Amino acid sequence: MGDKVDPSAAATKLSTLHPAYSVTNIQSKSRTLDGTTVTYSSWVQLFQLHVVAYKVADHIDGTPPPPKAEPLYAQWKELDALFLQWILSTVSDNILPRNLPNTISAKQAWDKLEKIYLSNKKARAAALETRFCNLSLSACASLDDYCQQLQNLVTQLADVDHPVTNSQLVLQLVRGLPA
């Protein structure tokens, strides 16, 4: 008996405007994931706040959609398309081609981004550490730019479970300055 859906309750739920529809420009609420300035972990943290606030977490947390025969499925499918648009419109142009092909749901896009950024951690850490160790002030536009690039690399290294200590950061900062 508890498994049956009351048709009038379902119709009422369908006629209520979902909070996600109030978002007219997700870019004004989120940042663009580029993997450098905005790292994957900071993008996920910010995006998850919006996911909870706009009540669409069930589209990425593994909750199965309602059965296609249920009245709520059409709204769920529409919300999933909206959420997928949010994801795709907040990733940079260089990431989009890797995420877009054959992506038909928000969960697929979410999982693809996680795989892009969190798989192959050792190889990514090695490449990032090389960039970190070889960065110098002469390769940057200014001292501020140099410091910002170092900080971005520190954040990216932390994303792949290869944190940089403060003493390592200071050492690299000094090493990269002209003699």
Residue 37 pLDDT > 90, yes or no?
no
The arithmetic mean of pLDDT across residues 125-148, rounded, is 93
Question: What pLDDT score does 156 carry?
Answer: 86
3-state secondary structure the chain: CCCCCCHHHHHHHHHCCCHHHHCCCHHHCCCCECCCCCCHHHHHHHHHHHHHHCCCHHHCCCCCCCCCCCCHHHHHHHHHHHHHHHHHHCECCCCHHHHCCCCCCHHHHHHHHHHHHHCCHHHHHHHHHHHHHHCCHHHCCCHHHHHHHHHHHHHHHHHCCCCCCHHHHHHHHHHCCCC
Q: How confident is the model at residue 4 (pLDDT cuts 50, 70, 90)?
A: low
**44 vs 102, more confident:** 44
Mean pLDDT confidence for 31-51 = 85
Query: Dihedral sign, CA of 100, 101, 102, 107?
Result: negative
Query: What pLDDT, in 10s, does the model give residues 166-177?
Result: 999 999 989 888
Spatial CB neighbours of 95, under 8 Å, sequence gap ≥ 6: 33, 34, 35, 113, 116
Encoded amino acid at 149, one letter:
Q
Q: What pLDDT digit, counting tens, does each position of 74-128 carry? A: 999 999 999 999 998 899 988 888 767 788 899 999 999 988 888 778 888 999 9
Residue 1, pLDDT score: 47
pLDDT reported for residue 6: 61
pTM: 0.67
Confidence band for 30, pLDDT divided at 50, 70 and 90: confident
Amino acid making up residue 14: L
Long-range (24+ apart) CB contacts under 8 A made by 22-25 are 22/54, 23/50, 23/54, 23/86
Q: What is the mean pLDDT of the chain?
A: 85
**pLDDT grade for 28, boundaries at 50, 70 and 90:** low
Give the pLDDT score at 142: 93
Percent of the chain with pLDDT over 90: 43
Q: In which band, very low, low, confident or very high, does the pLDDT at 52 lie, cut at 50, 70 and 90?
A: very high
